[in-house]
Structure 1
Amino acid sequence: MTYTTLVSAATLAANLDNPNWRIFDCRFSLADSAAGFESYRSGHIPGAVYADLNQDLSSPVQPYTGRHPLPNFDSLAEKLGKWGVNNRSQVVVYDDAGGAFAGRMWWLLRSMGHTQVAVLDGGYGQWRKQGLPTTTALPKIGASAFRAYLDNRQWLSASQVETGLASRSIILVDARTPERFLGKSEPIDPVAGHVPGAVNRPLQSNLDRNGLFLATDQLRQQFTDLTSPFPAERVVHMCGSGVTACHNLLAMEIAGLGGSKLYAGSWSEWIRNRNRGVASR
């Protein structure tokens, strides 16, 4: 059996010794870029390799990009091979933020043609809650070969978003908190507000009180209510920098609403051009 959206802690635990499974720790803090790796070194799921949002899952920031530009996919494919991933591997990614960062790696792999990738439901917290094993030992993994089949139709540029909104051919869903979306608070980016015409779906809405994803039917109903009458293929997700937006994209896939896209540059790229509109209500 393969997993393409979520995997439970119990299922991952049962496959820790499965040679076809590869695990990645994606813990990260926007406030302290070293915190994720420090947490990893203090304890992680056995066999997990650390994938850094800045160093591995993004490329360097440029004058007109957002805070986390898409990585160089050739370089990422090479890294995946060095990390033991091949085109038949079952990949599992996790973090300690409900999937907010692990979702980025999930989406990147899917965009590279690798659908056998799943987010650990409940993340590291659920793993610890169930009393499952952790280690501080770094994994010893033999290199493999990973070939990417990149599909650049999975994301939109700022100009494509502008055109889509102007023609009313897309609906733009922003995963940031309501406070940031409405411009009441902006702790990260220099301009507050949101893209005119966007709707708000905070990623936290996808999780229950235990930090697990909501049931499929709940997610389907909520996203259908939010994005109707647009079909899933016309839904575009954004956030602050194209990272946490992947959480909503994942939630739609869980709900059986496949085909939505990512505005990769998101808010931090949008505001680089002063000619682009900004709304605050």
Structure 2
Amino acid sequence: MGFPGTWMTESESVVYRVVPKCACSTIGQIMYYSDHGQFFDGDIHDAQSGLHKWALEGSQQPIAHNVQTHKSYAFTCVRNPYTRILSSFFDKICGIQRNGSRYRGNMVPMLVYKYGVEVGGDDGKQEFDQIASFRRFLLFARDTIRWRRPMDPDIHWSAMSGHVSTFISNGGQYDNIFWTETFNDGMQKVVDAIDTPHQVDLETVPRFNESEGHGPKRQHPVEDYFDDLSMHMVYEIYKRDFDLFKYDFENPANKMPTGEIDLDEVHAKLGA
């Protein structure tokens, strides 16, 4: 199994377990900058050098050795499940991707046909009922996660706890898990805890939101997208995320965490 989704600076100053839709573009660019004194020119997910990634064959041995010996500070970042699944919908389902095509080829046409999801036309810019369409997508996301039909769940809407757990179950240990909602505070703790070739000033780091502009703008407050049935489905899919990362299931309007993350609890429950 190894350590899928794990990135590490070439200087081995820090190790990061990527959780999709949780500021991963910005975090990756900060890591890249901390080694090279400049940001990667393009989407950091496309970088084939300058940063160790588990997906790159030459990086696997150094990452595995580092993680298993807990040589470097290791962290990840999480996000409110309500806003994360909404972001996935607007970016991956309604949006046109960097390559000018729909995400995952025929997935969106299948969603339109089987689930009645609307996505704003061929260019994603036409008016449509965002709330009704999102709730239909939520049915699809639940089906992929619960029954792996009509396809396996996508990394962008599979539970955060699943991403976080692979790192632990293969011998890794987190020093910090922080929230996207308090990004600067959380990332500052990481920066303060590590020694890097180049100093990082978080106040001057741009936000590398690579999904920005892919899809239509959200027209309603977060809570409007979730009725009782939608909330029930979200809880069914993400119960562990709400519980472990201390988010408020009862109130979709409250994106902020309600308590501190207990790292011991996370390691115990996700490493079992």
Q: Structure 2 length normalisation: TM-score?
A: 0.21
Q: TM-score, normalised by structure 1?
A: 0.21
Higher relative contact order (CA 8 A, sep 6+): 2
- Higher strand proportion: 1
